[in-house]
Structure 1
């Protein structure tokens, strides 16, 4: 298959010449759905090379906790940006884009197909969307910036790289209260970026998302690449059970050793690898565990802490003791803290699944991404290789084959079954909504507000409030004399 068949032809309106757009395959989906496995299995059908787009797997270390595909399971398929970045730096969406573009060019030059794989959607947006074609702000009507940081961020932030300035949240409120409503008051990195952007361009951050910029934000029709988006997905309860089992397997595979090694009482949990789910959850346990050892341990244990020569041996002893705590009978305080940390990892992973699913839905409904869904539910539920081949690999191969043969318009768009919208949702992306019924929970944008209102927890809370109010009204109407013993 020649490289020309992997390009999309389009006309340059300025000179009428044909421009070739590189073709790339993008595999998306929530954690645990099988993205990495599908990418590797595609190598049996196409000459592929994988570019990792997981914001934690890019870092060196925590191979078990971040669920990196080990070399023996990669089946000889080249993987790029997997465990290559220093764990102590912040690898932004802009840096991912700047690293991935030359990799794509290099892969195409070898007549291979670049396959972008990962659940970090803001990495993928930064790579394929037009708002990061360049870093200039000369024409803000034609370009805008994005780059979410962490799983708690909204889907509408830019990333212009790191900035060492130290502005206050109040400064941003005074400058641009609309933009200030989009971020948490403690998100220092975004505060710096917003104000620095204004200092460079003279344009308020919120203004970047008005007019044509608001229309084009998140769109891929003017992307530098011709993309085939495939989402591996499964029902949320199925993924919940799977990731809980996976956390247990990670514990057996050495997760506790990894979090022990990365633990630092003065560590910065807002940058680099320490942001990963599964690190901070163990902080309280490790703090008490090491304090207990220091205060109550044998003399030789204390000496080992002070003697660098014996540090490695002592660390191995402490790791072994941690595993023994987890397997011990009884409910001492350390075991309770350790089991609680593991439960938090499972809870936060389940929350991540929901965040990823919401973002995928936004890409499809708000920005009209043509995402082709393949269902891995049966394969995950039954742990069936036959179902995996039939339900996931087969449909994905058919979609990619059609895409590479320049017949992608003939590929049926497999809609997310939860998505019933036929028209793009009106893009109210900046308005802040507050739900009093749910404890003053803050929602950003009309779409997020509508999704919240349709959520089970919100509806349950509203029902409870209505029942409570009805009971209070009935009690007020009922004379006390009518109650009889």
Structure 2
């Protein structure tokens, strides 16, 4: 995100007037152009990454780049838990539901398309926010891609929820997904000859429903209900396993690659649920601190920091 000098002056007007010549602008004017800024939101599935990224994008001039390897595909909006148009609150999203569901979209593909999206967002003087649970995509882009490293500074926000609380939430989320049409959605793409190792068919929910959908026409209602229940339990179990794997990957990236991540504990907000108390706690413990971190990340090296140093110099001269 580029912050123009004129915009910075408008944002931070001096509160005192300086005698001619005492405020030396040369050091600031001579500063080399710094890297553009990118915010990266990570976390296990179900922790609220999309919610936080949208919260940030409604407070900063920002756009979101999806980094979830299943949400890049068209279709299965319920199974992949894509944010709805209403939940997006008008925030532009990139790489969300745009890839042919039958192709293999690799980490290399993600790096190429995400880099183009970030470049486009920065060119329009907006802040790119990369958000998603696929840590292999994040690593490939911000660690392995030397060109990306040379262009951008990243601020990492890690939304964390204690595993017992997250597992309970994930279980309830699967129940809600079933209520709004998960089974019919997966039934709509069912193909007994399909390859579940490619494209969107790798998404949790599709392999787990395979046996039920194969046997559905041939069994009685009682057996059908039992098989469906077993499939749903598998979906819950595998989603919890995914959350554990994602958490391990985040910790590995943090420890081995020395990422500077800001951990934001959303556990208490999840315990309170989606009521007003839960929303207030989310604002206090997750959204609010994130806004402050991003604000500091964006402006700590700009005109505000320079002006602060000049004010300190002037104060020392008057002592």
TM interval, shorter chain, is 0.7 to 0.9
Q: Deviation at 1:72?
A: 1.3
CA distance in 2, matches of 1:291, 1:50: 45
SS of match in other structure, 1:262: coil
Structure 1 equivalent of residue 136 of structure 2 = 122
Q: Deviation per CA, 1:75-114: give whole Å up to 9, x if none.
A: 0000111100000000000001100111111111111100
Q: Deviation per CA, 1:235-268: give whole Å up to 9, x if none.
A: 0001000000000000001100111011100001
Does 1:91 find its partner at 2:18? Answer: no
From 267, 272, 287, give the equivalent of 2:199: 272
SS of match in other structure, 1:373: strand
Larger C-alpha radius of gyration, 1 or 2? 1
From 279, 283, 301, give the equivalent of 1:389: 283
Q: Deviation per CA, 1:199-224: give whole Å up to 9, x if none.
A: xxxxxxxxxxxxxxxxxxxxx9x554
Structure 2 equivalent of residue 370 of structure 1 = 260
Q: Deviation at 1:124?
A: 0.9
Q: Deviation at 1:4?
A: 5.0
Matches within 5 A, 1:200-239: 224-239=151-166
Q: Deviation at 1:368?
A: 0.4
Structure 2 equivalent of residue 190 of structure 1 = none
Does 1:109 find its partner at 2:109? Answer: no
CA distance in 1, matches of 2:128, 2:218: 49
SS of match in other structure, 1:59: coil
SS of match in other structure, 2:133: coil
Q: Runs ≥4 in structure 1, deviation > 4 angstroms?
A: none
Q: Deviation per CA, 1:334-389: give whole Å up to 9, x if none.
A: 21111000000000000001000000000111110001011111111102110011
Runs (5+) with no aligned partner, structure 1: 6-16, 135-219, 294-324, 326-331, 409-485
Identify the structure with bigger relative contact order (alpha carbons < 8 Å, sequence gap 6+): 2
- State TM-score, norm by structure 1: 0.54
Q: Aligned residues, how many?
A: 274
CA distance in 1, matches of 2:2, 2:207: 48
Q: Deviation per CA, 1:314-349: give whole Å up to 9, x if none.
A: xxxxxxxxxxx5xxxxxx222111100000000000
CA distance in 2, matches of 1:93, 1:19: 30
- State TM-score, norm by structure 2: 0.82
Runs (5+) with no aligned partner, structure 2: 6-30, 303-319
Structure 2 equivalent of residue 171 of structure 1 = none
State the Cα RMSD in Å: 2.1
Structure 1 residues 56 and 355, CA, compared in 2 at 3 Å: closer, same or farther?
same
Contact 1:128 1:223 in 2 (8 A): no
CA distance in 2, matches of 1:257, 1:407: 52
CA distance in 1, matches of 2:102, 2:57: 33
Q: Deviation at 1:20?
A: 3.5
CA distance in 2, matches of 1:223, 1:254: 45
Structure 1 residues 291 and 132, CA, compared in 2 at 3 Å: closer, same or farther?
farther
Matches within 5 A, 1:54-453: 54-129=68-143, 131-133=144-146, 224-292=151-219, 332-383=222-273, 384-406=278-300
Q: Deviation per CA, 1:398-443: give whole Å up to 9, x if none.
A: 11011001369xxxxxxxxxxxxxxxxxxxxxxxxxxxxxxxxxxx
SS of match in other structure, 2:268: helix
Q: Deviation at 1:19?
A: 5.8
Q: Deviation at 1:390?
A: 0.4
CA distance in 1, matches of 2:73, 2:179: 22
CA distance in 1, matches of 2:297, 2:179: 41
Contact 1:3 1:108 in 2 (8 A): no
CA distance in 2, matches of 1:54, 1:100: 12
SS of match in other structure, 1:248: helix
